[in-house]
Structure 1
Amino acid sequence: MALLEVNNLDIRFAVRGGDLRALREISFSLDRGERLGLVGESGAGKSVAAFSILNLTAQPGYLAGGQILFEGRDLAAMSERELRKIRGNRIAMIFQDPMMTLNPVLTVGTQMVEALQSHRRLSRRAARQIALDRLKQVQIPSPDKRLDQYPHELSGGMRQRVIIAIALLLDPDVIIADEPTTALDVTIQAEIMALLLDLCEQRNVALMLITHDLGVVSQVTQRMLVMYAGRIIEQGPTKEIINDAQHPYTQGLINALPQMGDPGHRLHQIPGAMPSLNRIPSGCPFHPRCQFATDQCRTDMPDYVASGNVDVACHEVRKLIEADTQPRETHS
């Protein structure tokens, strides 16, 4: 049994004029110690999927269908009191902006101690010692000094390390990292991702990494999901998808990487933009931007087809696979 299993997740937002579907039949699993990447452009539904796991989707968003199973128990069916025992304790989350996560009027130590005491019966002294140990683990210089500092007194890289330390406070089984290096420079990004990967491997923690950076995904994750307009359009082993992407959208994302272009020439880009929730095209939602789109793509939503170890939602990929499996005529 998978540690975390999401089945046919359907998230909608109730607005005037009718519901908007933010996630459409999302299904995936995460095993203990596994590293999973969610990739796609802004608006693809990556963060909504992450927030939905811990029932953090703000109103007017709501769960319209599906299951979110953690060790076989449905998180979507739990009461708020039961979820409090899971959030931050068994499943921790690292948000995009540490300054939005940390309380600016409380010291780092106060916030870490409060997080520990909300889940464990610990004295303030014992909780402070655990907080100090976690800051050491994330390689913050002078950790005893940082405990008594306020968030604004720390650099961006240090603040993100504090957030990771807070996520590790209660020895979670799963860490969900939502664009954890967005606001950092390239050097600090690499340090933070290396640190996160090392900590997950040491502690056998499952990692769900949400990002638009395929370079990071290729280096950190073992499996990846590619999302478009609220739907998973390709999923499988990271190396297989990066080396031989099947869906035209995934191919476009890879071709848009700077290293895929020629020096001195414009970077490749996917034409058009992600559709808004109230203007999702009929059929395959990617068809207005796809150079391979046919009439079938414009009218029918594609089902998944297996291409090796990768599942792809694409009519044209299905046709190619079916053509390869057709028996060839022999002439005597």
Structure 2
Amino acid sequence: MNLLTVNNLNVSFHIKGIELAALIDVSFTLNRGERIAIVGESGAGKSILGLSIVNLLDKPGYIKSGSVKLENKELSKMNTRQLQEIRGKRIAMIFQDPMMTLNPVLTIGAQLVEAIRSHTRISFKDARNIAIEKLHSVQIASPERRFDQYPHELSGGMRQRVIIASVLLLNPDIIIADEPTTALDVTIQAEIIQLLLDVCHDNSMALILISHDLGVVSRVAERTLVMYAGRIVEEAPTLELINDPQHPYTQGLLNALPQMSLPGQRLNQIQGNMPALNDRPSGCAFHPRCPYATQKCRSEQPNFIYNGISSVSCFLVEDMLEEENSEEDSLDIEYATFHDEGQL
């Protein structure tokens, strides 16, 4: 059984009497201990998907239809009290700005102890010992001293380590990390990513990494989902996706990496911008920016095509596969004819 199953998830925002679709028919699975990444430009729907999994959407956002199951439990239909039993204990979330998570008027220790005691019935002393142990496990020096400090007294990297420690308090099955290194410098980013990897490996936790940085994704994720305008447009094992991207959007993201340009050259970029929720194009939403778009792309939405170990939503790939299959059929017919004639 899959640990997490998201099936045909649709999320909308109801604004001034208008329904705006943010996620459209999103489906994927996550196994226990597996690490996957969700990538795409800003506005693709990555963070909305992360929030939807634990139903942290604020009004006017809501889950319109579809299913989010943690093993056999349907999360999308749970009330607030039921979800509180899941959040933190089974699924924990790391946000890109730790100050969104940490309360600036409470000490680090007070917040960690509160998180533990809200889910378990243990003494303050035992909760304090657990908190200090977790702070030590994320390589925070002098955890006893940090326990009594306030968030503003810590650096950005140290605050993010505190958040990771808070995630570990209840040993969840899944960590959702939403751009966890965005506000950090490159050196600290590498340390935090390695820490996340170690934490997931040592505790057999599954990870959903939300990122726009394919360089980071290549180091962390075993499988990657590419999102565009609220849809998943490609899904593949990470190395396969990086070495042989199928969707033109994925190709554009990879070509835009700095290492894909020679020194002194302008960086490659995808022309145009991600469409707004109220201005999503007809057909394939990527067609206004796609160099291979046809009239069919402008009027019809492509289905997912399974190509070996990858899946992609693109008419270009569909046509190429049909052509390859047609050629194989032709060769089979020619071989059969030749074989039959040889028997005569």
TM-score by length of 2: 0.95
Once the two structures are superposed, the pairs formed by residues 298-313 of structure 1 within 5 Å of their partners are: 298-313=298-313
Please name the residue that 2:342 is paired with: none
- Residue 76 of structure 2 corresponds to which residue in structure 1? 76
| Higher radius of gyration, 1 or 2 | 2
Aligned to 2:177: 177
Q: Deviations over 1:17-76 (max 9, x none)?
A: 420000000000111100010000000000000000111011001111000000111001
Whether 1:263 aligns to 2:263 is: yes
Counterparts of residues 252-331 of structure 1 (less than 5 Å): 252-326=252-326, 327-328=329-330, 330=334
Distance 1:101 1:75 in 2: 22
- Tell me the C-alpha RMSD between the 2 structures: 1.0
- How far has the Cα of 1:328 moved from its partner? 2.8
Q: Residue 236 of structure 1: CA displacement?
A: 1.6
Q: What code does the residue aligned with 2:172 have?
A: P
Instruction: Name the CA distance, whole Å, in 2 between partners of 1:30 and 1:124.
Output: 35
Matched, 1:160 2:160: yes
| Paired position in structure 2 for 1:40 | 40
Provide the rounded CA distance (Å) in 2 between the counterparts of 1:285 and 1:267: 24
- Looking at structure 1, the residues matched to 97 and 206 of structure 2 have their Cα atoms a distance apart, in angstroms, of 21
Q: Alignment partner of 2:330: what SS?
A: coil
Between the aligned residues of both structures, percent identity stands at 60
Residue type at the aligned position of 1:40: G
- Which residue of the partner structure matches residue 132 of structure 1? 132
Aligned residue number for residue 148 of structure 1: 148
Q: Which deviates further from its counterpart, 224-233 or 69-78? A: 69-78
Q: Tell me which amino acid in the other structure corresponds to 2:239.
A: K
Amino acid at match of 1:328: S
Counterpart-to-counterpart distance in 2, 1:54 and 1:328:
50
Equivalent AA in structure 1 for residue 174 of structure 2: V
For residue 159 of structure 2, give the secondary structure of its aligned residue in structure 1.
helix
> What letter corresponds to residue 100 of structure 2 in structure 1?
M
> What SS is found at the alignment partner of 1:291?
coil
Paired AA for residue 129 in structure 2: Q
Counterpart AA for 1:26: V
- Classify the secondary structure of the residue corresponding to 1:199: helix
Alignment partner of 1:120 is 2:146? no
The CA distance in 1 between the partners of 2:319 and 2:17, in whole Å, is 38
Deviation at 1:15, TM superposition (A): 1.2
Find the residue that maps to 1:321 and give its secondary structure: helix
Which stretches in structure 1 are left out of the alignment for 5+ residues? Answer: none
Unaligned runs of 5+ in 2: 339-344
Post-superposition Cα deviations, 1:190-223, rounded to whole Å, max 9, x if no partner, equal 0000010011001100000000000111110001
Aligned residues: 332
Secondary structure of 1:166's aligned partner: helix
Q: Can you list the C-alpha shifts for 1:64-100, whole angstroms capped at 9, x where unaligned?
A: 1000000111001112111111001111000110112
